[in-house]
Amino acid sequence: MARQVLQMHDNVFSNRPASIAITYLTYDRADMAFANYGPFWRQMRKLCVMKLFSRKRAESWASVRDEVDATLPAASDKSGEPLNIGELVINLTKNIIFRAAFGSQGHEDQHEFIGILQEFSKLFGAFNIGDFIPWLSRSWMDMHGINKRLKAARGAVDRFIDKIIDEHLANPKVADAEDADMVNDMLAFLEDSPAGKGGEGGDLQGNLKLTRDNIKAIIMDVMFGGTETVASTIEWAMAELMRNQEDLKRVQQELTDVVGLDRKVQESDLDKLPHFKRAKKENLRLHPPIPLLLHETAQDCEVVGYSIPKKSRVMINVWAIGRDKASWKDAETFWPSRFGPDGECAGVDFRGNYFELLPFGSGRRSCPGLQLGMYALELAMAQLMHCFDRSLPDCEGHVA
Ligand code: HEM
């Protein structure tokens, strides 16, 4: 069924459903993640892929390297003491994405921004009766106080990102310059901006113009899409490996053989660590950070004999698919060797070609941050396991 929705009928199922909170917080869907499929989304996606996620955008990759080097040594300072991996890695991914998005400007405001993200997260998931009975969403009703919180949250984002945009406008940099960040790159497309003149568009068709709201909404997409997904995946991977000591030892032996004990893990090492890669894949099978993919139909259609009306919401349960006993032997067991050359799942990848394993989705709306996310995930995981023996605590709470 996932193949039917994400591949065979991808063109019909590529819209996103949006609640009142999502619509309001994304400036009326001025972003990419919640825009409906169509020319606007296509242009935005191309812009993000070219300017942020592409391997050619060296600054995004440098952010990962530098922040892993800056943040993870804290783990070594705590040798012999309890270490809260969850806190460490959310801090790391926040720093990476913050730097890729805003450059070094505004680093001191990061703490405030995390508070905003957390409130957005809660509001996105909050039950709002107005989504089901629209007349109850009028502002004077506001039965659960959601409208008030939505206004406060968007006000906070406005203040925060407007300041950053103004700073960037006051110190313009040529888009694509070595020290340009994501905001510089996007300002080249801002309507009425001096930076926007000159048709800097590369492969982008026509004269793409962005409003401030577009830019703010895309920044939020990237902050949301890239922070918790990567952090929770690293945390799960560490927990699984600590629970499965044999696999942990194998991964550590690989690291010792390839990297040795006298230097840090580098990007060029990562492809020489096959069991490490299998463990990462197995972890994504069991713990996809986005367990439900939310799609909506753009028109009436028929799928395997069922009539699906226009604007139907479809949720693809990636978590359940990854644990389906019909597709996976010992589905609940963490068993990286299943992906080895002699394993039953040799060759299965997570890039959207195998519908049994969909942590990044598949098709048009699949994750554009896959490469960047994988790089951050692999480098951080490898660094955390290299040179250290860790074990789970006896009691709940910290991992030592
Ligand atoms: C472990 C890392 C990550 C995982 C597992 C992941 C997973 C996903 C999934 C499942 C989707 C939805 C696919 C669908 O609806 O069919 C998605 C979309 C998206 N992701 Fe990721 N993601 C990760 C990292 C990132 C990073 C690092 C960024 C940005 C820096 C990012 C940005 C986005 C955006 C903007 C979308 C919306 C795309 C669209 O609607 O066209 N993700 N991601």
Measuring from each residue's beta carbon to the nearest atom of ligand 1, which residues come in under 6 Å?
32-33, 45, 97, 221-222, 225-226, 229-230, 233, 289-290, 293, 359-361, 365-369, 372-373, 377
Whether pLDDT at 193 is above 70: no
Does some domain include residue 395?
no
Distance 269 CA to ligand 1 centre (A): 25
Residue 52 Cα: closest atom of ligand 1: 30
* Atom from ligand 1 closest to the CA of residue 364: 41
Which of 45, 319, 360 has most ligand 1 atoms within 8 Å of CB, for mutation?
360
Enumerate the known binding-site residues. Answer: 367
pLDDT of residue 250: 96
Give the per-residue pLDDT at 189.
84
User: Ligand 1 atom 43: the closest Cα is on which residue?
Assistant: 367
- The atom number, within ligand 1, closest to the CA of 31 reads 35
Q: Is residue 317 part of a domain?
A: yes
Buried b or exposed e, range 187-224, using 16+ CB within 10 angstroms: bbbbeebebbeeebbeebeeebebebebbbbbbbbbbb
* Orientation of helix 370-385 relative to helix 274-286, angle to 10°: 120
Two tokens, residue 39: 């020319």
Give 136 Cα–ligand 1 centroid separation in angstroms: 32
**pLDDT for 113:** 76
Q: Mean pLDDT across the stretch 121-143?
A: 72
pLDDT at 400 over 50: no
Which ligand 1 atom is the nearest neighbour of the CA of 289? 5
* Whether residue 399 has pLDDT greater than 80: no
Pick the residue whose CA is nearest to atom 3 on ligand 1: 229
Q: Considering only residues 57 and 198, tell me which one the structure prediction assigns the higher pLDDT.
A: 57
- Which residue's CA is the closest to the ligand 1 atom numbered 32? 225
Say if residue 396's pLDDT is above 70: no
Q: Where does the pLDDT of residue 143 fall: very low under 50, low under 70, confident under 90, or very high at 90 and above?
A: low
**For all residues of the chain together, what is the average pLDDT?**
84
Residue 310 belongs to domain spanning: 2-387
pLDDT in tens, 222-236: 888 888 899 999 999
Does the residue 394 lie in any domain?
Answer: no
Ligand 1 atom nearest the C-alpha of 45 is 41
Split into its structural domains, the chain has a count of 1
- Whether the per-residue pLDDT at 327 is higher than 70: the answer is yes
Most confident of 116-120, 207-211, 355-359: 355-359
Ligand 1 atom having least distance to the Cα of 358: 10
Widest CA span in the chain: 66
Q: Does residue 80 have a pLDDT over 60?
A: yes
Share of the chain above pLDDT 70, in %: 86
How many Å lie between the centroid of ligand 1 and the Cα of residue 33? 8
Confidence of residue 141 (pLDDT cuts 50, 70, 90): low
pLDDT at 71 over 60: yes
Question: What's the 367 CA to ligand 1 centre distance in angstroms?
Answer: 4
Residue 396 covered by a domain = no
Q: Which helix (H) or strand (E) holds 302?
A: strand 301-303
Q: At what angle do helices 58-71 and 370-385 cross, to 10 degrees?
A: 20
Span from the CA of 233 to the centroid of ligand 1 (angstroms): 13
Cα(222) to ligand 1 centroid in Å equals 9
- The answer on pLDDT for 362 being more than 90 is yes
Q: What pLDDT score does 302 carry?
A: 93
Tell me the CB-side half-sphere exposure of residue 245, using CA atoms within 13 A: 4
Reference 386, options 266, 232, 282, 281; nearest CA is 266
pLDDT tens-digit readout, 9-47? 999 999 999 888 889 899 999 999 999 999 889 988 888
Instruction: Find the helix or strand (DSSP H, E) in which 308 lies.
Output: strand 306-308
Per residue in 138-170, is it b (16+ CB within 10 Å) or e — as a string?
eeeebeeebbebbeebbebbeebbeebbeebee
Read off the pLDDT band of 115 (50, 70, 90): confident
d(CA 230, ligand 1 centre) in Å: 10
Highest mean pLDDT among 126-140, 214-228, 296-310: 296-310
Most confidently modeled range among 4-8, 73-77, 224-228, 287-291: 287-291
Mean pLDDT of 295-310: 94
Provide the pLDDT confidence category of residue 176 given band limits of 50, 70 and 90.
Answer: low
Assign 195 a pLDDT band (cuts: 50, 70, 90): very low
Q: Which of the four pLDDT bands, split at 50, 70 and 90, describes residue 398?
A: very low
Query: So what's the pLDDT on residue 56?
Result: 67
Most confident of 16-20, 54-58, 170-174: 16-20
Distances in Å between the alpha carbon of 172 and those of 73, 104, 149, 195, 385? 34, 14, 34, 7, 41
Mean pLDDT confidence for 183-206: 60
**Residues placed in the known binding site for heme:** 367
Ligand 1, atom 21, lies closest to the CA of: 367
Closest atom of ligand 1 to 93 CA is 27
Residue 393 forms part of a structural domain: no
The predicted-structure confidence for 337-351, as pLDDT tens digits, reads as follows 999 999 999 999 999
Q: Is 398 part of a structural domain of the chain?
A: no
For the chain, give the percent of residues with pLDDT over 90. Answer: 43
Compare 359 and 82 and report the one with higher pLDDT: 359
Residue with the bigger pLDDT between 88 and 203: it is: 88
Confidence of residue 105 (pLDDT cuts 50, 70, 90): very low
For a mutational test of ligand 1's pocket, the pick from 60, 357, 367, 371, i.e. the residue with the most ligand atoms closer than 8 A to its C-beta, is: 367
383 is a domain residue: yes
Judge whether 392 lies within some domain: no
From atom 20 of ligand 1, which residue's Cα is the shortest distance away? 367
Bigger pLDDT: 135 vs 154: 154
- For residue 297, which of 2, 3, 7, 15 has the smallest C-alpha distance? 15
What CATH number does the domain containing 274 carry?
1.10.630.10
